[in-house]
A and B are shown apart, each in its own frame.
Chain A
Amino acid sequence: KMQQIINSIKTSGYDADRFTLSISLPISLSIREHSLWLYYEKEGKEILEGKLKKEDIVPLKQIWKYIYPHNVTSEVGLIHESGDTADFFVELVIQWEKDEIEMQVMERLCPKEYKERAKKTNVYNMGVYSRQGVDNSLGSVSHTKFMEEFSVPPPVPDTPFQLDFRMSRSSIWLGGRYCKYTRELPQTPWLIKGVRKCFSSVEELIGDKVKEFLDCEQVKFLASGREDVDVRMLGSGRPFAFECVNSKKTKLSQSDFEDLTKLINDHHKAVQVNSLALVSKSSIKRLKQGEEEKRKQYTALCITKDPYELENIKKLEEFKDLVLKQETPIRVLHRRANAIRDKIVHSMTVTQLNSTLFKLGVISSAGTYIKELVHGDFERTKPNLCSILGVDTDILALDVTEV
């Protein structure tokens, strides 16, 4: 069976060169170790008294850890490391069918404790018994009581053990920037009461390919802010990252990045990525900070109710660091508290298109609602273009040009 496991590790496809081998033993081992200790105490009283305590005995698991992994290393072809330094974990699991039955002696030894745990099903949903828990409980049980319920020395197991194993990997993070060239795709899956409103999303169009390329169990999407469905993301794109859980491939060469970029970009022309790289977990913090701190740049296509005077519109370019008071836009009021937030419009540029149409360039602080800057959201955003220009102004389209 060990040979089977070793072969599985070799053919698993994980591109690791280090691993950590651990073992999980039946919990009834704790009871048996306790029983054996009581036996040695009784029989070797004269020799042991005062010289040896239960805690001095090296646990079986520890001895296994000292000896066994090194035997496997050469066959598996990976360097063994103990502790948290490796990123590839192989856990051997020893199971015994009578484990649960033997554990039930705990209910008789510490009835109050284990009966209570049996009731708390959501805290103890993985099982009422744990190695730590059992060791602690046994500490409070008297020798005589223990010997009443469990044989000392422990009985020889009469059924064989089962050996199984699990392989897992620490997560890696893949970062980059994405551009969205359509006004019909949401950033993340759009579901209302469990029903999809749009058949895909930026997250899925990129994530599906990342998952495929790295051969991982799951990908989790993070981005530095987001844009609406009907807003394009242009320029160098929005920073994003995927946490790749349990991926087979974790080492990427320059050409791997190029291949992955091409794989994603060929998937759909409306979603394009660039600057892919593996990033550390700590850079993810900066991703979220950027969302709150960085300035953003936009282009808005604006329309006025009546023909405007270019001179009047050009006045917008004179504003520097204009402070807006934005009351929560009605279109997000269902999920945000009704509050007034200060936002800053650092600068604006204006380009005339025709007598009622113009392009507005905006640089603003993070979190500024640009659509509401233009039409005012029934004056919940003040000032707004309607109030500044003295004419009803509305927004027809919005692009994010820099994040």
Chain B
Amino acid sequence: SDLSSIKANKGPIEDSIDLTEKYQSVTERYYTPYYKIDEDRTRKNDLCLQLHSNRISLVTLAPSHPILTKNLQIKEVDCQVTKSLDRKKNKAVGKGKKGGQNLDPTSILCHLETEDARYAVEAIAPSKLICMNKLVLDNPSLIRNRPDAEGHIAILLPYLGQIEECKASLLSKEAYDKIISEER
């Protein structure tokens, strides 16, 4: 495309966009989902990495997770991962997010405590932790009600050099949908 394809539009705002285009939520507009499904298909601790076009990522539950499919109540979001490591204490300072906790794909961000089971939420991507979502720490039901928006669990910045490899190891939406529909 070139300069001639750009048109000047001086009209009112409601005439300056195509209102017939299908509405996309904030998550759909800016993020691409990548799925990591649990090897244990009875436990189904399936997670999703929502990758923003600027590389910042949200860790969320995948739609096939029991907390969502069975509408389970989350009693607590436990960020004390080991005796000495509390994810809540993470501090990522400045533009470069200096001091942010270093995460491997299998590093545990937190545990979700439900009535019958304790689910470990993994980081999914090799990354720096920017912050745990304070909202869900105080109000765990957001994870169940708004999983890919206000109910995201953590915000990470995946390492630039490793992001392509990471994406290749995860499932695209198409692949994920296929596997899940075949399970039913």
Contact = CB atoms under 8 A, between A and B. Distances in A.
A394 B24 CA distance: 10
Nearest to B29: A394
Contacts of B13: 299-301, 359, 397, 399
A399 B8 CA distance: 14
Given A199-B3, A394-B25, A181 B9 contact: yes
Contacts of A182: 6-9
19 contacts: A181-B8, A182-B7, A183-B16, A234-B10, A270-B6, A299-B13, A303-B23, A331-B30, A331-B54, A335-B95, A337-B93, A337-B94, A338-B131, A375-B26, A378-B150, A379-B150, A394-B25, A394-B26, A397-B16
Contact of B149 (A200, A378, A397): A378
The 9 nearest A-B residue pairs measured at CB? A269-B8, A181-B8, A270-B8, A334-B54, A301-B13, A397-B17, A378-B150, A337-B94, A333-B56
Contacts of B130: 333, 338
Contacts of A200: 3
Nearest to B23: A303
Nearest to A185: B6
A232 B16 contact: yes
A299 B133 CA distance: 31
B152 interface: yes
Contacts of B3: 199-200, 268
B17 A199 contact: no
Contact of B1 (A199, A331, A396): A199
B8 A333 contact: no
Interface of B is mostly: loop
Given A331-B52, A353-B14, A357-B19, 16 more contacts: A182-B9, A183-B16, A184-B6, A232-B9, A232-B16, A234-B10, A268-B6, A270-B6, A299-B13, A330-B58, A331-B54, A334-B52, A338-B92, A379-B150, A397-B16, A399-B16
Interface in A335-350: 335-338
Interface in B132-151: 133, 135, 149-150
A333 B94 contact: no
Interface centre among B2, B6, B23 (most CB of A within 10 A): B6
A330 B52 contact: yes
B135 A379 contact: yes
A331 B58 CA distance: 12
A288 to B, nearest CB: 20
Contacts of A357: 14, 19
A330 B26 CA distance: 11
A396 B14 CA distance: 9
Contacts of A399: 13, 16
A184 B133 CA distance: 33
Contacts of A199: 1-3
Interface of A: 181-185, 199-200, 232, 234, 268-270, 299-301, 303, 330-338, 353, 357, 359, 375, 377-379, 394, 396-397, 399
Nearest to B97: A338
A269 B10 CA distance: 10
Given A375-B26, A396-B17, A270 B92 contact: no
Contacts of A181: 8-10
B95 A337 contact: yes
A333 B26 CA distance: 16
Nearest to A392: B25
B140 to A, nearest CB: 15
A9 B55 CA distance: 54
B155 interface: yes
A332 B97 CA distance: 13
A270 B2 CA distance: 13
Contacts of A379: 135, 150
Interface string B43-86: 00000000010111010000000000000000000000000000
A336 B17 contact: no
Contacts of A334: 52, 54-56, 157
Contacts of B157: 333-334
A382 to B, nearest CB: 10
B146 to A, nearest CB: 8
Nearest to A230: B17
Contacts of A396: 17, 19
A299 B14 CA distance: 10
A199 to B, nearest CB: 6
A183 B26 CA distance: 18
A302 B150 CA distance: 19
A335 to B, nearest CB: 6
A365 B3 CA distance: 34
A333 B150 CA distance: 16
Given A270-B6, A338-B131, A333 B155 contact: yes
Contacts of A338: 92, 97, 130-131
Contact of A183 (B17, B54, B133, B155): B17
Contacts of B1: 199
A122 B133 CA distance: 47
B54 to A, nearest CB: 4
B95 to A, nearest CB: 6
A53 to B, nearest CB: 56
A397 B25 CA distance: 13
A336 B93 CA distance: 10
A377 B155 CA distance: 13
